Structure 1
Amino acid sequence: MSASITARVTRALLPPLLTVGAVAVPGALGTAPAAAGTVPSATHGRPGPPVLPVVVTTSGFTVPGPNPRPAGLVTLDVSTPDFAGHWFGPLKPKASLGWDGMMDVMGRSNSTDPAVALPALGQLYRDVEFYGGAAVFPESPVRVTTYLDPGTYYFADSSVTTEDPTDPDYPHQEITVGRWARPAAPPRADARVDIREVDGVPRFDVPARIPADGTYRITNHGRIQPYEALFARVIPGTTEAEVAATLESWRTGTPAKNVFETWPQGMLPLSPGRSATLQFDVTPGTYALLSFTRNPQTGVGRSMEGMFTLVDLV
């Protein structure tokens, strides 16, 4: 693993927002999806969600459209020219928390003292609603379709870190969603990715083979916390034991074989009970499906504790 990538992993282990976002070696992720427009819907006769193209750079971003905007489904068509990528998505804290309060809780959740970090992480999961978002790199835009309820949202780029992780301040845009709704049908899904908690242990329930250029319906059936659905291509022939060893090396900083060929890309945290759709075009191959949101009891990223699976994108 190169020095620059080791530094990236080390920085990522001090999690921006919720996610460890640890990454390996960048690689080709295929071609971009179709240009922004109306997303094909699953129900004939109803329009698809409005598409909001968002280009995220180190200089910031702009979420287009009216503000306030209607409630309902919306597709975020997120892209970036920046090699290091971005983690962009909508957050809705409780009204009593607001942006400053949310940043305070996030900062405390990044403390190196578990007595400070773990209660803050639990509060974060209770008091902030996560609607999915895009972990995006230049090789392929990422489309996330999610339902925005009425309220005040902060669309944030959590990849921009401060020198002190306990004092975060992400670039963000405040958007109000009104109580009137715009009816729209969700995009057609080619495959489902279900996240379930079995005896308190989260796991992915996904077919062994799914289309590489497909649209995935992702649902968090759990009750404990938000989860991600991130895809990282692995070296052909990689075993689950080798994936686990690489992830453990990221957690501990000990040397190990790196089995990843691409950065993890896909959907950012999705709160319990929520569904969203994910679409991007990737090079066919075997991918690890990952979630780095942290266990509120241990503070460790869930994939470091075994929440991952291998899936063939064909």
Structure 2
Amino acid sequence: MKRFVVAVVAAAGVAVAPVQAVAHERQAHEGQRVDIAVGVGGFDAPSTISAGAVTFSVSTSDPAGAWLGLVRLRAGVSRERYLADLTRAMGPEPVEGGRAVAKDAEMLGGVAVARTPAAVTVRVSPGDYLLVDFRDVGLPDLADRVRPVRVVPGPGGGHGPADQVVVVLDGRFVAPAAISGSVRVVNLSPHVNEAMLMPVRPGTTDADLGAFFRGTGPAPFTGGPTGVVPLSPGRSAVLDADLPAGPYALVTWVTDTRTGRMFAADGMRALVRVGG
């Protein structure tokens, strides 16, 4: 297995030059590491962290996996309102709920894990945040599972370097055929979006993926997602995981709030190979 760091640039009508500038950025990696173990009953997290680059290293014993994300509520938005809107967005009202969530909070990303532990590095500024396992949405005790986190002034620091870029232009992932090395995740689109890697059966085609996301074909996946959970426009993250080598689908499970259709059903997906 090869260690890799994946980043996705989500961009709408953005020239390639700025993307290349992002990819070749070389900032020293400074910051702190927060280890979080997620179980069936939830997770614990520190109540205080320092501003700057923070790496959340996540593992889970929950067979359903974990989708741990960091969010910052906008002024005047209560935790109760945000969680109610999040439940709507991930349940019966993906369009109206999704629009409300985008207004409720700044989503800084986070990490989805299945069998393999993974880490994500994000930059945070001082303020009050929430850590949410999006897998818990819909549970009656969701509010009790959310962990408040206060970010206090710190030394700052940036993400690590990025060697590869996966670009989204007009709802498409533009990805290298093989993923290895380090790549940054930057959402330059006007929409909240995510980037998930899911192992697929050998021989899986884009047509197979399209049929699944349109509801006309079987699931081609052989395991759960590892990736970056939703990022607000302008946010970035770096994903680090030691996934088994093989064929993967790079997908998003986010619904386009303009059309009511999943982005992946409309072509925002790519087949890649991880490792050798």
Q: TM-score, normalised to structure 2's length? A: 0.83
Taking the TM superposition and a 5 Å limit, the aligned residue runs for 1:153-192 are 153-162=129-138, 169=143, 171-178=145-152, 180-192=153-165
Quote the Cα distance in structure 2 between the aligned partners of 1:282 and 1:234.
13
Other-structure match for 1:16: none
SS at match of 1:263: coil
Deviation, 1:189, is 2.6
Greater strand fraction, Structure 1 or Structure 2? 2
Give the Cα separation in 2 of the matches to 1:303 and 1:108.
Answer: 20
Shift of 1:177: 1.8
State the 1:308 CA deviation.
Answer: 0.4
After superposition, the C-alpha distances for 1:14-44 in whole angstroms (9 at most, x for unaligned) are: xxxxxxxxxxxxxxxx6889xxxxxxx954x
Give the distance between the partners of 1:234 and 1:190, measured in 2 at CA.
25
Partner residue in 1 for 2:17: none
Q: Aligned letter for 2:44?
A: T
Query: For residue 305 of structure 1, what is the aligned residue in structure 2?
Result: 266
Q: Report the Cα distance in structure 1 between the residues aligned to 2:168 and 2:264, rounded to whole angstroms.
A: 13
Of 228, 246, 250, which aligns to 2:212? 246
Residues 1-314 of structure 1 aligned to structure 2 (within 5 Å): 42-43=26-27, 46=28, 48-64=30-46, 67=48, 69-109=49-89, 112=92, 118-137=95-114, 139-162=115-138, 169=143, 171-178=145-152, 180-196=153-169, 198=170, 202-211=171-180, 214-223=181-190, 225-249=191-215, 256-314=217-275
* Aligned equivalents of 1:279, 1:108: Cα separation in 2: 30
**1:7 alignment counterpart:** none
SS of 1:297's equivalent? coil
Q: Which amino acid aligns with 2:203?
A: G
Matched to 2:252, the amino acid is: S
Q: Tell me, in whole angstroms, the C-alpha distance in 2 between the residues paired with 1:210 and 1:141.
A: 18
8 Å Cα contact 2:2/2:245 also seen in 1: no
One-letter amino acid of the structure 1 residue matched with residue 172 of structure 2: R
Shift of the 305–53 alpha-carbon distance from structure 1 to 2, 3 Å rule, reads same
1:197-244 residue CA offsets vs partner (Å, 9 max, x unmatched): x3xxx2222222221xx4331111101x21111001222222111111
Give the conservation status (yes or no) of the 8 Å contact 1:32–1:141: no
Inter-partner Cα distance in structure 1 for 2:173 and 2:98: 22
Does the aligned pair in 2 maintain the 1:194–1:221 contact within 8 Å?
Answer: no
Structure 1 SS opposite 2:52:
strand
Amino acid at match of 1:93: L
Per the alignment, do residues 170 and 160 of structure 1 end up closer, same or farther by CA in structure 2, a change over 3 Å counting? farther
TM-score in terms of structure 1 length = 0.73
Q: CA RMSD in A?
A: 2.5
Label 1:308 to 1:181 Cα distance change in 2 as closer, same or farther (>3 A). Answer: same
1:113-141, Cα deviation, whole Å (9 max, x unpaired): x6xx533321211331111111112x311
User: 1:161·1:170 contact (CA, 8 Å) conserved in 2?
Assistant: no
Matched residues in 2 for 1:162 and 1:273: separation?
Answer: 28
List runs of 5+ in structure 1 lacking aligned partners.
1-29, 34-40
Q: Give the CA deviation at 1:110.
A: 5.0
Give the letter for the 2:124 counterpart.
Answer: L
Contact 1:194/1:220 (<8 A) preserved: no
- State the distance in 1 between where 2:26 and 2:31 align: 11
Higher relative CO (CA 8 A, sep ≥ 6), structure 1 or 2? 2
- Tell me the distance in 2 between the aligned counterparts of 1:127 and 1:307: 25
Q: Percent identity?
A: 30
Say which SS state the counterpart of residue 43 (structure 2) adopts: coil
Alpha-carbon deviations, 1:24-81, whole Å to 9, x = none?
xxxxxx6889xxxxxxx954xx5532110010112221223x62x3221100001012
